[in-house]
Amino acid sequence: MDYQSALDYLYSFVDFEAKPADVYAPERFNLERVRGLLERLGNPHGRYASVHIAGTKGKGSLAAMVESVLRAAGHSTGLFTSPHLQDFRERIRVDRKMIAHDSLAALIAELRPHIPATADITFYEISTALALEWFARQGVEIAVLEVGLGGRLDATNVVAPAVCAIMPISFDHVELLGDTIESIAVEKAGIIKCGVPVVVAPQPVAAQSVLRERTAAIRAPLIDVDAAWAWNCEESSAAGQQFALWPTARPQDKCNYQLPLLGTHQVENAAVAVALVQQLREQGWSIPQRAIARGLKTVQWPARCEVLPGEPPVMLDCAHNRASAKRLAETLQDFFPGLPRVLVFGAMRDKDVAGMFAELLPGCSTAIMTSAGTPRAMRPRDLVQTAAEYDFPTSPAADLSSALAQAKQAATPAAVIVVTGSVALAGAVRAAMLEDAALSAGAPL
């Protein structure tokens, strides 16, 4: 089995990333399926420690930060995130390196005889098992795992973590998780385990109430980052940010950090990362202060308010709900104040597109609507119709190359092009632009 045939086999299973489920329930999302597969593999996830991260937004950034800090401290790490930007192998990393093509193909071939024994197993469940098995084979000390959807019924919820984290909760996947913050928070809180510390990012009051009730009910220590830590951004540029962070009970312990990721929300995410790392330190993990600083300074998490230089510059972001679109708009105002914005937008049809437009379109001079390139993608002409109430030029683009060409034509050198709406769109644009840059420079691809 070569790499492409292995991927084809994997994608032959039900993929709720490409086609949404109609219900968030055990008949669609079933921990017993992945537990059964892992048991046949010898329960690889029991051979190393883990950190488990849920939330609506920021969980991938937090996972990347925590992994970077742990690696800087000299620990062997696994990192499982989803979805990927450009390459499936991004989801499964050891010491930040993606699993090799031949290793992934061989691993899928080895797992293949075990898979038919589990009826209705999904693409994501198999992917999770692949990651957990690979981490065990590579001898990682600790794996950082990002929840894919919800938490309670997510395939990653088979682990017994050392620390959990709940990132900010907002409206997303409402057709599956519920149409109130409380109902969504209940699903996210499903990763909380008895006695396991839970680091909680700043939350809406309704979400915080649910999380407090859940942690109290099962005696899980809750670390409220908003109450226990304070921070402020001291300097920022397109290259990154410098910020100070300190425990509110010990302001004399203030530390200064550098972060290459843009946006005040990333400073907040970094505060959560430090709070989480502190919990690991209290459990005996060796993580010196210099490793925390180095890990944050060198973290890599592309297409999250990432600026690709040029004339005009391009900001890529994976915002795909209203809350993350609001954060993107705030970051644009901070880093490109007063500049005209040309928006390239493509989203999934099950997303709150009107809510994202409410945050993004008032600051734009023109918008090009395109397809995110998956079966879930909303059609460009439907996006144009949804944006009709905003009084400025909006046009459809049948494909990505047309959208970028239109954006460059519409933008002046003093403008900024903003690409957002989905991970799929951001990843495709990033790949295309980096390839163009390499070709222009004469570099090998």
Q: What is the CATH number of the domain that holds 410?
A: 3.90.190.20
109-113, 173-177, 186-190, 251-255, range with the lowest pLDDT: 173-177
Q: 25 with 136, same domain? A: yes
Residue 72 has pLDDT above 70, yes or no: yes
Could you tell me if 374 and 238 lie in one domain? no
pLDDT band at residue 442, thresholds of 50, 70 and 90?
A: low
pLDDT of residue 200: 98
Domain check: are 32 and 167 in the same one? yes
Contacts of 74 (CB under 8 A, 6+ apart): 286, 291
Q: Would you state the pLDDT for residue 445? A: 45
> In terms of domains, do 283 and 324 share one?
no
Tens-place pLDDT, residues 8-43: 999 999 766 655 555 445 556 679 999 999 999 999
The structural domain count of the chain equals 2
Question: Bridge-partner residues for 98, per DSSP?
Answer: 93
- Note the pLDDT tens digit of each residue in 395-408: 999 889 999 999 99
Residue type, 264: T
Write down how long the chain is. 445
Instruction: Note whether 278 and 250 are same-domain residues.
Output: yes
- Indicate whether 373 and 252 sit together in one domain: no
Domain boundary among 298, 326, 359: 298
Comparing C-alpha atoms, which of 135, 64, 52, 63 is closest to residue 99?
A: 135
Buried b (16+ CB within 10 A) or exposed e, 149-184: bbbbbbbbbbbebbbbbbbbbbbbbeebbbeebeeb
Please list, in sequence order, all residues whose beta carbon lies within 8 angstroms of the beta carbon of residue 102, skipping any fewer than 6 positions away: 3
Whether the upstream peptide bond of residue 337 has omega within 30° of 0, thus cis, is no
289 and 152 share one domain: yes
Mean pLDDT across the stretch 221-226? 98
Higher pLDDT, 60 or 440: 60
Tell me what pLDDT residue 2 has. Answer: 94
Q: Each residue of 126-151: pLDDT tens digit? A: 999 999 999 999 999 999 999 998 89
Range of the domain at 391: 306-441
Residue-level pLDDT at 24: 45
> pLDDT of 414-439, one tens digit each?
899 999 999 999 999 999 888 876 65
Q: Which of 298, 316, 336 is the last residue of a domain?
A: 298
Alpha helices by DSSP H, 96-204: 101-111, 123-137, 174-177, 181-188
Instruction: Tell whether 177 and 57 lie within a shared domain.
Output: yes
Q: Are residues 124 and 85 in the same domain?
A: yes
Query: pTM, whole model, 2 decimals?
Result: 0.93
428 shares a domain with 405: yes
What lies within 8 Å, CB to CB, of 67 at 6+ separation is 77, 79, 93, 96, 144
| Secondary structure, 3-state, 326-361 | HHHHHHHHHHCCCCCEEEEECCECCCCHHHHHHHHH
pLDDT of residue 237: 87
Residue that finishes a domain, picked among 298, 315, 348: 298
Q: What is the pLDDT of residue 385?
A: 94
- Do residues 215 and 222 make contact, with C-beta atoms less than 8 angstroms apart? yes
In terms of domains, do 336 and 237 share one? no
CA gap 258, 296 in Å, rounded: 7
Q: How many CB atoms lie within 10 A of CB 413?
A: 8
Mean pLDDT of 238-257: 95
Give the per-residue pLDDT at 178: 66
**268 with 391, same domain?**
no
